Structure 1
Amino acid sequence: MKTNGGFLITKVKQLNDRIFEKILAKKNVDAFNGPQGRILYVLWQEDGVPIKTISEKSGLAITSLTTMLERMEKNGLIGRRQDESDKRKTLLFLTDRARNLKNDYDSVSDEMGNIFYEGFSQKEIREFESYLEKIIMNLEKWSEK
């Protein structure tokens, strides 16, 4: 059976990234871009985590994160500290400036959600998100092989 799921997901990601950047610009949010917003989102959920956790939860490769994190640190969004219990690990922390940007991110995220689900019923949203969760589980299982 021929399917188009992979192509459709790629198209959704490309459009999502483009529209997210447009909404950031429309709202005059220039402190972070889309990928940096994903990093901040992870840290807003749990501050003081290693880079590996950021990579796993944001879906960004560690190699991509290195440059982004340096830029974010230079722009006063994050700080780094050595893990007291494991000196080999560096933990990432939000700055006060980044904490104060959460409302901006939430506003952009809410607008994205409205765009995503326009014309969907609550039941359709729940079903759709359950399918996405299954796809994510399948991809994570496969990536661990």
Structure 2
Amino acid sequence: DAFNGAQGRILYVLWQEDGISIRSLSIKCGLAITSLTTMLERMENQGLIRRVQSETDKRKTLLFLTKKAHALKGEYDSVSDEMGSIYYKGFSEEEITQFEEYLDRIRKNL
């Protein structure tokens, strides 16, 4: 309940790489900057992110997670693990590994 699905995509990217530009986030999330603007404002109001002007390029705004957002990662990982166990139910470890390798190849081609 702390965040919705689209916000989860944003948080996931920032958990991997905190302090990135809005443009980089847009590319990594696959969301248009126009869509991100409203969502980032909402997330900032919720205390999940903070925006900081880049010291090296004043035109860029960098996004950082707050302590509150960092604290949500454990819950996110727990839910993600639970969903993974449901998704992969009945698959062997070898099948899961092979499938994830295929997904990685697909992602690299996007």
**CA RMSD, Structure 1 to Structure 2 (Å):** 1.2
Q: CA deviation at 1:124?
A: 0.8
Structure 1 Cα separation of the partners of residues 30 and 94 of structure 2: 27
Q: CA deviation at 1:67?
A: 1.1
Aligned pair count reads: 110
Equivalent position of 2:2 in the other structure: 31
Please give the secondary structure, in 1, of the residue aligned with 2:76.
helix
Identity of aligned residues (%): 70
What TM-score, normalized by structure 2, do the two folds share? 0.91
Larger Rg: 1
Equivalent position of 2:87 in the other structure: 116
Gapped regions of structure 1 (runs ≥ 5): 1-29, 141-145
Question: What letter matches 1:91 in structure 2?
Answer: L
Structure 2 Cα separation of the partners of residues 76 and 47 of structure 1: 15
Q: Does 1:42 align with 2:17?
A: no
Equivalent position of 2:61 in the other structure: 90
CA distances 1:94-137 after superposition (whole Å, capped 9, x unpaired): 11111111111111111111112111111111111122222223
Q: CA deviation at 1:31?
A: 1.4
Please give the secondary structure, in 2, of the residue aligned with 1:55.
helix
Structure 2 Cα separation of the partners of residues 89 and 69 of structure 1: 15
What TM-score, normalized by structure 1, do the two folds share? 0.71
